[in-house]
Amino acid sequence: MNTKIKIASVFMVLCLIVGYSIESKACTRVVYKGPNNTILTGRNMDFGIEIPANQWIFPRGVKRNGEVGKNSIEWVSKYGSLGVSTWDLAIADGMNEKGLVANMLWLDETKYPTFNKEGNTKGMSISLWVQYVLDNFATVAEAVDELRKESFAIVSNYVPGTDRFVTVHLSISDATGDNAILEYIEGKLVIYHDPSYIVMTNDPTYEKQLAITKYWEDVPGNIFLPGSVSASDHFVRASFFINSIPQTDDTRVAVAGIFSVIRNVSVPYGFGIKGSPNLSTTRWRCVADQKELVYYFETTLTPNIFWVDLKKIDFSEKAGVRKLDLSDYKICAGEVSAEFKKSKPLQFLGL
């Protein structure tokens, strides 16, 4: 079979298997692995409506509960962290002082376990899923070992002011290059844990994303790559490019490289197709350097990348919660750890 026929055949099979849809929400997350323990995780946030993002510094020693009533789980944060909020009601992305990174991405096929506020099972609001991981674990292995016990139920809710019920899956990466993806399918927790799981997108389920990888293994990316804004196409392009850019321990080059990959799989701002009201546009991007503990960030409506050096942050309990308010398209540049201001704790959305 010649290359052109083979490519066409693979593309047709993929369309049938994963349900090709131009309306797919298409956040993408990639992990860069360079020499000398150079590990970086990058992602873009794609969403169909404006999704205000602020940055928060959370110290060690914060007492939290799952925000679902009397059956909420409770814990005290073991590690300090930097988190990016959505509407100041949830944390969608972040890195803790040990270099553990957690990212929430949409997944339409998600179905959480049933939760009864008056029952015996403990629960935690979806708004706290990322923060729970950042508060409690230093490595992916630690997080997976605990979360697989399913000692509490994840409880979801609607996006504020909309009829969209929040259905997300979670990726975790650490400073050693280990990776895990957690999904709730038909009410059951499914965990994919392997250092090789360096690329993920919103849809489809990660099992099907792994199938996409197999279908494209024999198709030369330097000859053909799918170019639509669908999540499946983003997965293919991100997989090819993250393994094609220079592998280096030069931080400047590594950060530039992973930013270039997630920009390649971003959706142009304001892009739309008639009849596709749920099509998402890229709102912001971030790169977490898990070796140097630096968190880089940019939004599509401001001109600069800025970053936070976690090594400059006091994460002790006495330092308190601090916030970098990015509302009204605030322009930041360079290292901004000193620009965080003391703040009331973020009130996570619950029941």
Which sequence spans correspond to the domains of the chain? 3-342
Of 181, 2, 217, 8, the residue nearest 103 (C-alpha): 181
> Residue 127 in contact with residue 91, Cβ under 8 Å?
yes
Rounded distance between C-alpha atoms, residue 337 and residue 170, angstroms: 26
Rounded distance between C-alpha atoms, residue 281 and residue 54, angstroms: 18
> Residue 306 in contact with residue 316, Cβ under 8 Å?
no
Please, which residues have CB within 8 angstroms of residue 305's CB and are 6 or more apart in sequence?
Answer: 259, 296, 297, 298
328: left (phi over 0), alpha (psi -120 to 50) or beta: left
Strand partners, 59: none
15 is catalytic: no
Nearest-Å Rg of the Cα atoms of the chain is: 20
pLDDT tens-digit readout, 196-238: 999 999 889 999 988 887 766 766 656 667 877 778 888 888 9
Strand partners, 199: 30
Per-residue model confidence (pLDDT) at position 49: 85
Q: Does domain 3-342 bear CATH number 3.60.15.10? A: no
Is the confidence at residue 14, as pLDDT, over 90?
A: no
Per-residue model confidence (pLDDT) at position 228: 77
Is the confidence at residue 175, as pLDDT, over 60?
A: yes
Average pLDDT, the chain: 89
Q: Say which of 15, 27, 286, 332 is annotated catalytic.
A: 27
Per-residue model confidence (pLDDT) at position 351: 82
Burial of 189 (0-12, 13-18, 19+ CB in 10 A): middle
Is the confidence at residue 4, as pLDDT, over 60?
A: no
Is the confidence at residue 15, as pLDDT, over 60?
A: no
Rounded distance between C-alpha atoms, residue 126 and residue 157, angstroms: 8
At 3, the pLDDT band (50, 70, 90 cuts) reads very low
* Element of type H or E holding 231: helix 231-242
Amino acid at 184: Y
At 81, the pLDDT band (50, 70, 90 cuts) reads very high
pLDDT tens-digit readout, 83-129: 999 999 999 999 999 999 999 999 999 999 999 988 889 999 999 99
> Residue 36 in contact with residue 70, Cβ under 8 Å?
no
